[in-house]
Amino acid sequence: MRCVYDTIPPLGPKQDAAMLQVVSFNIGGARGMRPAPHDHHKLATDTFTTLKQVINPRQPTIIALQESGRAVHHDRCRDVGWKLTQFLGESYIAAFAPEVTMCAHPHPNLWDRPAYRDMRAAAEGNAIVTNLPLEAWSWGSYPDFGACHGAHTWARQTTISRATLYSSGNRDTQPRNLMVASLRYRGVPLYFLNTHLGVLIGEDRHDMSYERSRTASQMRQAQVNEILHVIEELKAADRSNEAPERAILLAGDFNAQPDAPEMEALQRHFRLLSPENPPSQQWTHQQYRILIDHILLQDPSGQFSVISCHIQSSLPFDDLTDHRPLVGILALA
């Protein structure tokens, strides 16, 4: 089947700059408020309208999207990340890593909803969108990603949750993954990681004394351990191939506040970028008023300086998502 994409006019000229913009944005939380069936391209349009308030698309940019998606609706491919690149500019590329798909996880609780009416195929997961050049993996690639129809294969992905068949059709059994991209910023190689940690129905992230909350935190700690294992694997591969140690940026929806045990485990290896918003605005989840979206930096060689970090305080659309984007600005030291 041939997929037909719409064309979008490019952005007008904007001022260029050298600082690196890093965004983490969960764009899927309000899907129940949107018209059915789910319009992936409108989601990309609204995401762009939101992001252009806080980033300059002409600058070096990496965007970590959680709850992104791809679908085939009326024989047309709908891909949020791909569509977003059409707005951001021709230098942007997108990669998508599905966590649940209509074929591999065919639970009616998800796919029989009005949001997926008349869709022949669909997937939900994470995406990375960037205009940075790709950096070769230290261990090489075989085959060359162009031979794999390379529009979406330049980023690697791996499961970080325990084995699951998604048998309940809800968040408790939803698979979780980690995306890894090998990129280059102003001649400096780096790894960029995007993830979305699990959440359990009924947990209270304001109250860690609640048994359900402790169970959820332990689940996320196990997923964090998998992330740390992947990071050690990357470092070991670089060492074995005599490649210099790289800085690592990790972004995503961690479903945990900064002082949660799972985030403290990450902060033993990473620097957590702290938003500079006023205390009353120190949250990224609109309903629960909690800070669960984060950007972290591991920089053993001191190559980067953190210029700022902030949460976008308002969204132009009430039905886009229940999260607010987090934006970090970095530069070479």
Q: What is the pLDDT of residues 24-79, one digit of tens each?
A: 999 986 566 667 788 899 999 999 999 999 899 999 999 999 999 999 988 889 99
Q: In whole angstroms, what is the distance from residue 89 CA to residue 126 CA?
A: 20
| Cα Rg, the chain, nearest whole Å | 19
Region for 274 from its dihedrals, namely left if φ exceeds 0, alpha if ψ lies in -120 to 50, beta otherwise: beta
Question: What are the extents of the domains in the chain?
Answer: 20-332
Residue 158: count other Cβ atoms within 10 Å of its Cβ: 14
pLDDT tens digits, residue range 195-253?
999 999 999 999 988 999 999 999 999 999 999 999 999 999 999 999 999 999 999 99
Residue 69: count other Cβ atoms within 10 Å of its Cβ: 26
pLDDT tens digits, residue range 135-193?
999 998 776 655 554 445 799 999 999 999 999 999 999 999 999 999 999 999 999 99
- Calculate what percentage of the chain has a pLDDT beyond 70: 89
Residue 114: count other Cβ atoms within 10 Å of its Cβ: 11
Q: Identify the three-state secondary structure at position 163.
A: coil
Under CATH, to which class is 20-332 assigned?
Answer: alpha beta
Q: In whole angstroms, what is the distance from residue 304 CA to residue 273 CA?
A: 13
What pTM did the predictor assign?
0.92
Q: Which residue matches tokens 């084995």?
A: 163
> What single-letter amino acid sits at 33?
M
